[in-house]
Structures are given as structure tokens and as C-alpha cells.
């Protein structure tokens, strides 16, 4: 390990920042608050720059885990502190490090109480999220995966809206229930394979009967996290009550835990069970896409509408992952990435007008284009990106997923495309009601357009959305090799299984 432990640094730098914030003391509360904000911004900003090192030095021609850090952690059990990224996880790490400074900046003025604790929560959250994507040891993965609940619970519970307590509890208990079952499955894997090293587990073949149970246990956790119908109900509540930045992180990164987990565990480790359960996943995803799209159509709360649209988008992810074809899997990852950017931006967009008017009700708005033309323009771009218009990031991912699934099952492809039409319906309907029409609400007449701070939030996301839409190769090149090796592994496992069953006959 003579190499510089860049991953450890990217993972734990935010914690260092959080500890630093903890030591800030001053007689004047506003000085403390200002310093806490700046420390958080600087830490997360520097962390983003550091993570760019990964981007530039990543060898995309290798499917192996890179920037590996490993040392012994728990004796007797042989658990280790083991981090590394491959083509699947690296972009999620970058997404996380990009969104955290944006979140800090987004909360600059809208959070006015307990700033110190707020900033600490976000920095701790960043560490846990980055660690989750980098972890290469089962237990380490679980600790990061589950630990995220603590800051998220506090963020929603302390700085959330009126029904924050209910939402925070719902988020916590739903996710925990799924996760504890996954924990037991992890133990079973550990005893079956004799190791908790994820890179070794990837090549271990579990007995077919065991795979079924393990797959179900992991699915219980990931399906809640993604979330899939019918365990999605925590998400709209959590989104509505969370502060803007909380929603951004929730939609931008936390929802990706499930999809990432399926790619990292369910598919490569339990390939046989994955085949068996594909119809189940397809059915649930279809229901999710169509049902939640229809539900989104009738929402009167902007955040809730976007939350439901997230569930529909995640339906594409689950379909893509379980195709499993190159296009489908790459498309699933791409949908997650572009959704991470677009839905984050949409929540920020809602946040902007919420800060000004303290309402998320669609009915309270209308005619904003007269007062906020720039805002209307940005809102338009992200609306179209969410719909999946060609030229935006949303299009590439959903298109790839549809190509992938079309080769497997035309019906699923057809029904999933319906989802895109619905998404156009609810997003454009939302846009029309908020932006166009007469400016009737008197309160809105004093509303002002974007401030420079808000501009700086949207600029990187805007750039990224267009970039992802126009030149997807930049991003897809990272994952080709890793996805190919993943699929090859799945094919092999399945081929072996069919041979055995033929031989048995």
C-alpha cells in the first residue's frame, strides 16, 4: 500500500471537517454560524476536487477494483477495512461529492436554526455515502449503508416540515426492517464463502437453493431503498418533510443505494436467483412506473409530485439491472446518474420558490414566468430532462434501458415506454401550472429572480445534464469494461447451472 490512500481521504475528509465545526466557538452566534457554513462548504468543495483525482486517474480499461486500500480491522472474524472503486461505483462517488457542496450551498440561507449541527450532519452523511460506494467488505458496506440513517433521521426530524416526526420515523423503520434481513443474509454468505471480501464473494458461487433466500433478503433491503412499489410509501413523506438539501441528497444519492446494491450483490452474486425473480422485478417495476406516474399526475404538492416521479424513474433502473444486457445495465446506471442530477435540480428548483413564498402547493403559484424568466428557463431544461427529451441526460439512460429490455421482453418495453409518456404529462402539467398563466397570487408579485448563489447551484447541474445528453461516452466509457465483466460472470454462472441441470437429466 505504498500508493496514496486517496479513497480513505475522500471518504473521511468530511468527518474531519465535521470535527472541526464541532470545535468552533464564539460569543456571537452569527459568527459561529457563518464559520460553520464556510467550513462545511470548503470541506465538501475540497473533497469534490480531491475526488476529481479519481476521475482523471481511473483506468477504464480494467474491470478490477482500483485505488484499493486494505488493512485488518476485526480479528478472529477476518473482517477488513477495504475500500476500492470500479467502473460501476466511481461515478456514484463523484455524484456524491458533487452534490454535497451543492447541498451546503442550498442551505445557506434557508436553514436558520442549529446551523452547526446541520452542517455536521451533512458532512457525516457525505462520509457515509462515499464509504458505502467504496466499501469492499460486507460488514463495512453494511455499516455505511445503515449508518446513513442516523444523519438522515436527524436532518428530516430537526429541520423538516410540519409532519417531520412521522416522516423521519417512517424512513427509519422502513429502511431498517429491510436492512436487518440483509444483515442476516450477509452472515450466511460469510459462513458459506468463508470471507467477507466483496471482490472474493463476486467469484464465489453460492448453492442455488441458498441463492433464492439470499436474493430475497437483499431484495427486501434494496427494494425499500430504491424504492419499489409497494414499499415506496416512505419516500413521498420523507421528501415532502425534508429540508430542500435533504431532499436533494435523498433523491440524488440515497435512492441509488438500492440500485447500486442490486448491481453489486444481487446480480453477480446470486445470478440464478436473479433469473428466477426477474418476472417479479419486472412486474413490480411496471406497476411502479405506471401507478406512480398516475399518482404524480394528481399531486397538489410539488415535492410530492417529484418524489413520485423518482419512483417511476427508479422503475427503469430495476428493469435495466435485471435485463441483464449491456445496454440494460449501462442504461440503469445512466438513469441513476442522470436522475441524481436532474431530480436534485428539481428539488432545488422547488426549494428556490419555497424559500421565497413558503409554500409547495402548486395551486399557490402560476405565472412565475413574468417575474422570474431565468428561473422559468432553468425549470424548463430540467423538466425536459426529467421527461427524457433527447439532448438531455434523462434520454440516454431510459433509451438504453428500453433497448436492453426490448431484446428480452417486448411487453415490458412497451409498458415502460408508456411511463415516458406519462412523465411528459405530469411534468409539463406541473410546469404549466407553476410557470405559465396569469400572475394571480398577490404575494408572488414581489418575487425576485435567481440570486448569484442560486445560479451557482444550478450551473454545474445544468452543464452536466446537457453534457450527459450530448456526449454520453464520457460517462459510459467508465463503465463498459466493468459492466462487461459483470455480465460475463452472470452468463457463466447461468451456463454452469444449465449444464448441471442438463447433466442431471
Contact set with another protein (CB under 8 A): 73-77, 114, 117, 139, 142-143, 146-147, 149-150, 153-154, 157-158, 164-165, 168-169, 172-173, 176-177, 180-181, 183-184, 187-188, 190-191
Shortest reach from residue 340's CB to another protein, in Å? 24
- The Cα 117–Cα 140 span in angstroms is 25
Torsion angle of the four alpha carbons 307, 474, 136, 259, in this order, in degrees rounded to the nearest 10: 30
Q: What is the DSSP letter of 362?
A: G
Q: By C-alpha distance, which of 231, 208, 207 is closest to 219?
A: 231
Nearer to another protein, 68 or 180 (CB): 180
Nearer to another protein, 42 or 166 (CB): 166
Shortest reach from residue 483's CB to another protein, in Å? 30
C-alpha distances in Å from residue 276, one per residue of 416, 456, 499: 21, 47, 17
Q: By C-alpha distance, which of 244, 237, 306 is closest to 110?
A: 244
Q: By C-alpha distance, which of 224, 397, 383, 233 is closest to 308?
A: 233
Q: Where are the beta strands (DSSP E) in 269-331?
A: none
Nearer to another protein, 80 or 309 (CB): 80
- The phi-psi region of residue 391 (left if phi > 0; otherwise alpha if psi is between -120 and 50; otherwise beta) is left
Q: By C-alpha distance, which of 347, 380, 336 is closest to 479?
A: 336
Query: Looking only at Cα atoms, what is the longest distance across the chain?
Result: 81
Nearer to another protein, 101 or 160 (CB): 160
Q: By C-alpha distance, which of 44, 152, 138, 37 is closest to 96?
A: 44
User: In this structure, is the dihedral angle defined by the CA atoms of residues 380, 312, 231 and 331, taken in order, positive or negative?
Assistant: negative
Nearer to another protein, 20 or 169 (CB): 169
Shortest reach from residue 470's CB to another protein, in Å? 41
Nearer to another protein, 45 or 161 (CB): 161
Nearer to another protein, 155 or 434 (CB): 155
Shortest reach from residue 168's CB to another protein, in Å? 8
Nearer to another protein, 70 or 114 (CB): 114
- The Cα 21–Cα 19 span in angstroms is 5
SS3 assignment, position 324: coil
- The Cα 466–Cα 132 span in angstroms is 28
User: Cβ contacts of residue 61 below 8 Å, gap of 6+?
Assistant: 481
Amino acid at each position: 500500500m505504498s500508493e496514496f490512500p486517496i479513497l480513505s481521504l475522500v471518504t473521511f475528509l468530511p468527518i474531519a471537517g465535521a470535527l472541526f465545526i464541532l470545535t468552533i466557538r464564539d460569543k456571537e452566534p452569527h459568527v459561529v454560524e457563518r464559520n460553520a457554513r464556510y467550513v462545511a462548504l470548503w470541506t465538501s468543495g475540497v473533497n469534490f476536487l480531491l475526488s476529481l483525482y479519481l476521475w482523471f486517474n481511473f483506468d477504464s480499461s480494467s474491470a478490477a477494483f482500483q485505488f484499493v486500500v486494505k488493512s485488518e480491522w476485526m480479528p478472529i472474524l477476518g473482517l477488513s477495512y477495504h475500500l476500492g472503486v470500479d467502473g460501476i461505483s466511481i461515478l456514484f462517488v463523484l455524484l456524491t461529492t458533487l452534490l454535497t457542496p451543492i447541498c451546503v450551498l442550498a442551505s445557506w440561507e434557508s436553514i436558520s436554526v442549529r446551523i452547526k449541527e446541520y452542517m455536521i450532519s451533512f458532512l457525516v452523511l457525505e462520509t457515509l455515502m462515499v464509504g458505502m460506494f467504496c466499501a469492499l467488505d460486507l460488514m463495512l458496506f453494511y455499516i455505511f449503508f445503515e449508518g446513513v440513517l442516523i444523519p438522515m433521521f436527524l436532518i428530516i426530524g430537526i429541520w423538516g416540515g410540519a409532519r417531520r416526526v412521522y416522516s423521519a420515523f417512517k424512513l427509519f423503520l422502513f429502511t431498517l426492517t429491510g436492512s436487518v434481513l440483509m444483515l442476516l443474509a450477509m452472515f450466511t454468505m460469510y459462513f458459506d464463502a468463508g470471507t467477507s471480501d466483496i471482490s472474493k464473494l463476486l467469484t464465489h458461487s453460492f448453492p442455488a437453493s441458498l441463492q433464492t433466500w439470499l436474493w430475497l433478503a437483499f431484495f427486501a433491503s434494496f427494494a425499500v431503498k430504491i424504492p419499489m412499489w409497494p414499499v415506496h410509501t416512505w419516500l413521498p413523506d420523507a421528501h415532502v418533510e425534508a429540508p430542500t438539501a435533504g431532499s436533494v441528497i435523498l433523491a440524488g444519492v440515497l435512492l441509488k443505494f438500492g440500485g447500486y446494491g442490486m448491481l453489486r450483490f444481487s446480480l453477480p452474486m446470486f445470478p440464478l436467483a436473479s433469473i428466477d425473480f426477474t418476472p417479479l422485478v419486472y412486474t413490480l417495476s411496471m406497476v411502479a412506473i405506471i401507478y406512480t406516474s398516475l399518482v404524480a399526475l394528481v399531486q397538489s404538492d410539488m415535492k410530492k409530485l417529484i418524489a413520485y416521479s423518482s419512483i417511476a424513474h427508479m422503475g427503469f433502473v430495476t428493469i435495466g439491472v435485471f435485463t441483464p444486457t449491456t445496454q440494460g445495465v449501462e442504461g440503469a446506471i445512466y438513469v441513476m446518474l442522470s436522475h441524481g442530477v436532474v431530480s436534485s435540480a428539481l428539488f432545488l428548483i422547488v426549494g428556490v420558490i419555497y424559500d421565497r413564498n413558503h409554500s409547495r402547493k402548486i395551486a399557490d403559484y402560476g405565472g412565475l414566468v413574468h417575474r422570474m424568466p431565468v428561473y422559468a428557463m432553468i425549470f424548463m431544461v430540467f423538466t425536459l430532462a426529467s421527461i427524457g427529451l433527447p439532448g438531455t441526460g434523462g434520454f440516454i439512460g431510459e433509451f438504453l434501458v428500453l433497448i436492453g429490455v426490448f431484446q428480452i421482453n417486448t411487453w415490458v418495453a412497451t409498458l415502460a415506454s408508456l411511463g415516458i409518456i406519462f412523465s411528459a404529462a405530469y411534468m409539463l402539467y406541473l410546469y404549466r401550472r407553476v410557470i405559465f398563466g396569469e400572475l394571480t397570487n398577490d404575494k408572488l408579485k414581489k418575487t425576485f429572480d435567481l440570486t448569484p448563489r442560486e445560479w451557482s447551484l444550478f450551473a454545474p447541474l445544468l452543464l452536466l445534464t446537457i453534457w450527459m445528453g450530448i456526449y454520453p461516452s464520457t460517462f459510459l466509457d467508465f463503465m463498459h469494461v466493468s459492466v462487461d465483466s459483470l455480465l460475463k460472470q452472470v452468463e457463466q454462472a447461468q451456463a454452469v447451472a444449465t449444464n448441471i441441470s442438463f447433466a442431471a437429466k
